[in-house]
Structure 1
């Protein structure tokens, strides 16, 4: 079944349905990407009566979806709806330089610049009511085939607005669910890594670590995309690899501080994980501190003093950490160099 219908719904209707809306279905990207000025611009547009782009929402009637707690799932327009919700909840105010475009409104209402919604309700209840009666153009999609929703999401966001990790997440499937769960529950991801996760950076890293666990060496975009599609059903081999990954991450959590600077470079994490079985856990942190200290000193010839000898191996490592870092040859080069330093470190202690 695949049915599309379009309706106009007020902001008041939207707020009345909040508990019935899934803001984060499997295909969605993470929220809170918009800046405050972007949010204020949307509110400005609504108060001034401008049209805003259509919203796309999955309609999931309880009769067809008894296992779900939700009736609706946001396909496209999450940032707009979250912004409207946050404004009504007084999470931010109207821009300080707000002005009505219409001269009549400008003279009829007192200034609402810099005010929160509750303040507008008190000082200008008619204007607040008008805001709540603003009509949103919504395209509802009624389907019991997840592939149709995923295809719609990717098509709507196939320009510069969606990054690679977000597109992979949109493919859904059991594997995506399990990787997402790992990133949300593992202390390694929630507490230890020092990587922003606004655009599914953690999910991308977790996928690549899982691929390493399954013997993959090519972590290029094409390879990871194929891996996600081929393992969508999450077979026994993939399940066992994820169990191994979880155990290893759990075992090394104790080695790192919260938001550790040693875990601030994704490709460096991938490199040391690729040889993790060769590093005694009790020496992991000290080795990485030794390695990073030496790497920082020898990132390029410019970092080395006039009378000091440049370590060309480290220069090569840093170059491969940045250029084509996901390619098999680059990872192999980094592994080879890191193994040399690991051997030297272990022999010296």
Structure 2
């Protein structure tokens, strides 16, 4: 691996983000929107006070695009502030700019005076541009950069995945149907990725090997040792998600049941059964969920345990078997 380092003005960085020559959606990175208003305001405040800001790390892709693997929250915050997406925190202290104290409390970018706007636009960030790096290099750099940060097991799980499996999980986690299933918080904490991995685990289960424990260590074992064997089944899962998305304008499914329902869609597509009948079953399940005592015994304590996951799995397998 090789790298170069240079500083870039915020104005030029925002321009490149909008042009798409800086990509903020690398498969190893957390999605945008992780920070609250206070954290975002602290970044703008730090830039204006000339506090050191952590460097951004990006991979130079073959087409010249910079794909950010560390710094997405910083860059997206800068872009969003300059484009008036949010206002600064109301508890910000005054800042001296060109010998004059400025009060930025609660202000969007377009409400700043010209001196402050210029100070922000001309502020610079350091960018490390990595070239000639292997997938192993990228994952190891990611691991080391995040070793001391409070990333959840869900978000750190990507370091165990092959590049091919990461691509599959990233693509399916960003499927339009997932927008109907996931809350913003679940998107932030990596639940969307785990849902796809869990669905793939159920799809991969057979008489010889069942992947019906969603404990952290068992998910990690599947990702590390088995996932690549079943990559060919992802296209059918995507087709099922396409059909679900077409069938429901909106839907609310308990998160503990989403992998099993995605599995059911996969089986219906694979077995060439009636998807419309499955949609009716899913709709009925959602409507009557609170009174479904047979099912709810498997969503009490320890929802990730083998016993409870398998109970939910068998419930939906039985439904699939009855459909024609």
TM-score (norm 2): 0.77
Is the partner of 1:57 in helix, strand or coil? Answer: strand
Q: Which whole-Å deviations, capped at 9, do the CAs of 1:151-176 have from their partners, x for residues lacking one?
A: 11122123453223323345451222
SS at match of 2:126: strand
Which of 169, 173, 189 is equivalent to 1:199? 189
> 2:317 & 2:291 partners in 1: Cα distance?
13
CA RMSD of aligned residues (A): 3.5
User: Distance in 2 between the 1:339 and 1:127 partners?
Assistant: 59
Contiguous gaps of at least 5 residues in structure 1: 299-312
Tell me, in whole angstroms, the C-alpha distance in 2 between the residues paired with 1:31 and 1:97.
24
Q: 1:227 to 1:85 in 2, by over 3 A?
A: same
Q: What is the aligned partner in structure 1 of residue 29 from structure 2?
A: 28
Please, what TM-score do these two structures have when normalized by structure 1? 0.72
* Deviation sequence 1:290-334 (CA, Å, 0-9, x none): 751324xx6xxxxxxxxxxxxxx6674332xx41x2232332244
Question: Counterpart of 2:171 in 1: which secondary structure?
Answer: helix
1:116 and 2:108 equivalent? yes
**Higher radius of gyration, 1 or 2:** 1
Task: Name the counterpart of 1:238.
Answer: 231
Cα 1:253/1:54, change in 2 over 3 Å: closer
Pick from 168, 171, 178 the counterpart of residue 181 of structure 1.
171
CA distance in 2, matches of 1:4, 1:184: 30
Question: Offset at 1:267?
Answer: 1.4
- Residues 10-52 of structure 1: per-residue CA shift (max 9 Å, x gap): 3244335433212112222211111122211211121222222
- In the alignment, does 2:147 pair up with 1:158? yes
Contact 2:9 2:124 in 1 (8 A): yes
Superposed, which structure 2 residues align to 1:1-349 within 5 Å?
Answer: 2-18=1-17, 19=19, 20-60=21-61, 65=62, 68=63, 70=65, 72-100=66-94, 102=96, 105=97, 108-120=100-112, 123=113, 125-169=114-158, 171=161, 173-185=163-175, 187-191=176-180, 193-195=181-183, 196-215=186-205, 216-230=211-225, 234=228, 237-239=230-232, 241-252=233-244, 256=248, 258=250, 260-261=251-252, 263=253, 265-272=254-261, 281=278, 283-285=280-282, 287-289=284-286, 292-295=289-292, 316-319=297-300, 322-323=301-302, 325-335=303-313, 338=315
